[in-house]
Chain A
Amino acid sequence: MVPFAGWEMPIQYTGIVDEHQAVRTAAGIFDVSHMGELELRGEHAAAVVDYLVTNDASKLVDGQAMYTCACNEKGTILDDLIVYRAAQDRWLVVCNASNREKMVAHFAKAAKDHCEFFDRSDETALVALQGPKAFDVLDKAGGDAAKLRELKSFHFRDAVICNVRCTVARTGYTGEDGVEIFCPWNDAPALWDQLLELGAPLGLKPAGLGARDTLRLEARLSLYGNDIDETTNPIEAGLGWVVKLDKASPFIGKEALAAIKAAPLPRKLVGFEVTGRGIARHGYPLRDMDGKEVGVCTSGGPGPTVGKNIGLGYLPAEMTAVGTKFLVDCRGKNVEAVVVKTPFYKRS
């Protein structure tokens, strides 16, 4: 167990690689209750959400969710979020645990005098069930759980799983198909135990933070605090697709992001493979082939499924073409790496 944003979190249960493979080939179950859940209610809740996020929340229908950034006035990233539209006047926003206080304050401030705002984080547990067998596990979970196969990607609905009332979203952070299940915190242990018991014969394993990190890295999903933070903007981070400058609603950071998009980007987040003997880690300097420091590695490690040592990092725009060689400074040892296409892993 390790401390993480005020939570005691398991890094691993049976071993990172073992858990990683279980998620890729069968299924894994993750306790991600540390994530923050914010609720907005009222006639103007939709407008408040749309004002705070870069993606176009007005495009959502009831029961649909979307990935987005929330930026500050400078256009840098306060947090990356998933926003869920339960109804026009009822919204759920899931934020990173490490940003909970900041985002609670941010949302509460914007909601003031416009809509109701609740921090539901303490009362809400979140369990992710991910992998090609995730729905086979749900088939055994009774109630209407079997019908969850019909959920479309980034859609959610209420369901009863193992006699627990929950909200199930077809989302995840592993690059695999699967669901994320919200339930009252005191129902979570029973839900966890029952799913694990039902799923074990199918190869379901509990998975920790370690596997979550290797899985999301292979799928090139950004990690807040590593790849993105308040010094990075969504455009250079490769998240331009969640910035909708032409959406109807004004939003925080719009002017700055428009200016960033209009000018050539000085640097970009790219994926790379370490071709020499070494493993890139968060914070290692990136150098050009002459040894000059030109960027930084934001995430890195072995990719158990791709079978290579991979990473993400910011490089000057002129060095971001696929095939460009550079060096990773692994604690004083320069190890060769090459820019590659991402995601490193895509499920077939």
Chain B
Amino acid sequence: MEFPAGLKYTKDHEWAKVDGNRITVGITAFAVEQLGDITLVNIDVKVGDELTAGKAFGTIESVKTLSDLFAPVSGKVVEVNKDLDGKPELVNEDPYGKAWMIVIETSDPNAAAQLLDEKSYAEHVQASSH
């Protein structure tokens, strides 16, 4: 399973790509594998909304279950991926690319510092799948 280097990760299985103060968010290949076939992505926030780290910004549903999507960092939503509305299967096909979910603009330059790197995340996955 692939956890690209350079991304940051949360224990709830989101990834965060840090680009200056803009942080792009999606879910990891491990989350996708656990969920199975994704059938619905509901992003409950809109551009301009303020998000708090650890709070849900939407839900993702697969054939078998439903899971919350959590904000990895606090900040303002500046982009929402509308493509997922009609094409939830993108999450299965390209979790780190086309299936990005939201972009958060943060005012805290260290916002992503608490997040896991790919190595710590891989260890977390290892520990939680046993």
Contact = CB atoms under 8 A, between A and B. Distances in A.
A19 to B, nearest CB: 10
Contacts of B40: 277-279, 302, 309
Q: Provide the main secondary structure of the chain B interface.
A: strand
Interface string B3-23: 000000000000000000000
B121 to A, nearest CB: 24
A299 B64 CA distance: 11
A331 B59 contact: yes
B39 interface: yes
Contacts, number: 36
Interface in A249-283: 277-279, 281
A214 interface: yes
Interface string B51-81: 0000000010101101000000000000000
A304 interface: yes
Given A15-B36, A302-B39, A214 B63 contact: yes
Q: Give the contact-size bracket for chain B.
A: 10 to 19
A210 B42 contact: no
Residue among B37, B39, B42 with most chain A CB within 10 A: B37
Contacts of B42: 277-278
A223 interface: no
B66 A16 contact: no
Given A16-B37, A278-B42, A302-B39, 10 more contacts: A16-B36, A17-B36, A17-B63, A214-B63, A277-B40, A279-B40, A279-B61, A281-B66, A301-B63, A331-B66
6 contacts: A16-B37, A17-B63, A210-B36, A210-B63, A210-B64, A281-B66
